[in-house]
Chains A and B, each alone.
Chain A
């Protein structure tokens, strides 16, 4: 399942898309610890798979929550993507 968390507003589209089928197979889930802002959370989905998602309180401000990883002037350094062995996290911006 592809889970899209985020929003669109006047300044653009800000979604984190997670391929939860890959997360269900990923024992260690290193992305959760790797995220410096503690945005990601492990939970059991409706199909009894242990997957990750974006915490509720970050979904409507994700552009700002992820801001520290996405400086405008320097190279992006997305710890969640670097930690993920299977490319399961995609950012729309």
Chain B
């Protein structure tokens, strides 16, 4: 059985195609202004990678903030539902999941089947999401990836105001002017953002089987600060930014069977 999941996020649209529970193709494109068109393009590209036609796919499920715009999907699932289903598949031991993408951070708790028990979404400020790191890396004149590895060399953390991305940016600029090393600033930014995400996790209830998905899971500097803040190891997976699309594809398969 072949199904697909489309995760129409605010910044990127991700597509995963699975055959009998195994990923056979994935693709992503910037969501842009026309999310429907980006989603369809990414879907077509994923199909071509797998050597498939549209008709070969029995069901498509859409998730993400733009899921209602994916009109070629046969159904939708919420971001938390898709994140939980995908996470339990790739990290079966996980029970709490942190999902930090470009625009939003969320936390959820689930049972052993991936059914959501408790979730928190909708953090108010960009200071809890990936776009905040992008903004801060621009101020530091490095890429977000460089910022992640650089922060691991830091020797100190400077307390920062992470309640607001605008205040945080001006703090970063004054740290640059005070000649605080970039590595220390990078760690301080991740530390501040980790504090915000931790409060979401504590709201749903922290347990030791903690996994992280979403694009920020690829940033070792942020993951380390979050592990320190929560005082626990975080399970990671390959392609963490495709986990919700995978979850949607798995749910599509379950809807058929």
Q: Which residues from chain A sit less than 8 Å from chain B, CB to CB?
A: 1-10, 13, 15, 45-47, 59-60
Contacts and interface: CB of A to CB of B under 8 A. Distances in A.
Nearest to B251: A46
A69 B199 CA distance: 26
Contacts of A10: 163-164
Contact of A1 (B117, B121, B122, B124): B117
Given A15-B203, A46-B81, A8 B123 contact: yes
B41 interface: no
B124 A46 contact: no
A58 to B, nearest CB: 10
Cβ-closest 5 pairs across A and B? A7-B124, A46-B81, A4-B120, A59-B122, A2-B118
A9 B123 CA distance: 9
A3 B116 CA distance: 9
Contact of B121 (A5, A8, A9, A45): A5
A3 B119 contact: yes
B115 interface: yes
A46 B86 CA distance: 14
A42 to B, nearest CB: 15
B103 to A, nearest CB: 12
A6 B163 contact: no
B196 interface: yes
